[in-house]
Amino acid sequence: MTCAHIIGSAATRCGRFADATVAGLAIEALDGALADAGPDTGRIEAIFFANALSGLMTGQECVRGQIALRHSRYGGIPTVNVENACASGSTALHLASIAIESGLYETVAVVGSEKMSHPDKRRPIQALAGAADVDLLADAPEDHSVFMDSYAERARARIERNGWSPADFARVVVKNRRHAVHNPGAQFRAAMTVDEVLSSRMITAPLTLPMCSPIGDGAAALIVTGAPNGAAAPIRIRASALSATGGPAPGSVVQRASVAAREQSGLSAEDVDVIEVHDATASAELEAYEHLGLAATGEGNRLIVEGKTVLGGALPVNTGGGLLSRGHPVGATGVLQIVELVAQLRGRAGERQVDLEPRLALAQNAGGFVEGDNAVAVITVLERER
């Protein structure tokens, strides 16, 4: 069976860029990934283009990738548009992996690009609401994030059920800001203390502003192939598992994806060397620890206190700063996670490089909300082959 390998990766900076466009960001990221792959890269036969919000941000509901790339050197390449809320980027990589492993294509590109900042600050909040059941949001305020409300409700339940405190969530921010200090592409790079996080503006109790992923713009891209042909430091996609909420299967959507990824790879989250999780809020990172099996239910907060998930710890998490600090341009986030892990596996992460020589990495990307759970989750396991 043909194995999919990543041979090129690149990302733009994340932030609020008044003059940025989905097209410009995507082309910048694709150019960087192709250059990283090297001059011997084969012809790009297809592009999997992830974008979640352009339909509601600009009205470009259809053919987003074709419109974005038509005047570039990528114009004319068969393009598949992928929308799966905040998991759009990882879903695009999932589809690209299938296309490579099936033998349909030899080399493809994956790109996630999102322009979220807007002069009307209500616009991205309203657009993001489309990742939930809009029939249930008729009375929701237009200037308030239903997603932050949902995460906050789950955070309050953790406090009540497990005896946690808002300081547990603040420690997540402190950790991820500490990592982002060394990431030149991150949206927020200033270190923070627990007290500073707790005293910041409240969004929805107990979540303060730094505990919530920011509105921002950005893009990332990957070159994926079934024929590495001597490419420098190819990274094998050892597992790619996609799950959805609902149905009779037990567990959360992330737990279901974790089980499927373990069946594909023979590995659990405990077996890898570095992890990216979907910290749309600080509380979501602690929840992810438990759903990935890194901690027992109710004990996810202990991992940061004990130093396990901090750079220098046994299993660093979100080394680039995560969504909270690197930024969360939603259609690009799943690809941005993989770009960070590829840099770690290749030993190219600079001052945020994990201490050991990592060989295995895992990304957890989630999106949407349906009846108290994420609508979709993707788990990707990567391996640096010896």
Q: Which residues are annotated as catalytic?
A: 86, 328
How many beta carbons lie within 10 A of that of residue 10, not counting itself? 24
- DSSP string for residues in 171-222: HHHHHHHHHHTT-TT-S------HHHHHTSPEEETTEEGGGBPPP-BEEEEE
Residue type for 44, please?
A: I
CB 277 within 8 A of CB 285: yes
Whose tokens are 């600080």? That residue is 282
Residue type for 280, please?
A: A
Exposed/middle/buried for 137, CB within 10 Å: 0-12, 13-18, 19+? middle
* CA–CA distance, 259 with 370 (Å, rounded to integer): 20
Strands (DSSP E) found in 13-74: 47-50
Longest dimension (CA), the chain: 57
Exposed/middle/buried for 21, CB within 10 Å: 0-12, 13-18, 19+? middle
* CA–CA distance, 268 with 261 (Å, rounded to integer): 8
CB 220 within 8 A of CB 331: no
Angle at 364 between CA 169 and CA 194, to 5 degrees: 15
CB 92 within 8 A of CB 4: no
CB 6 within 8 A of CB 224: yes
Which tokens belong to 47? 């592009």
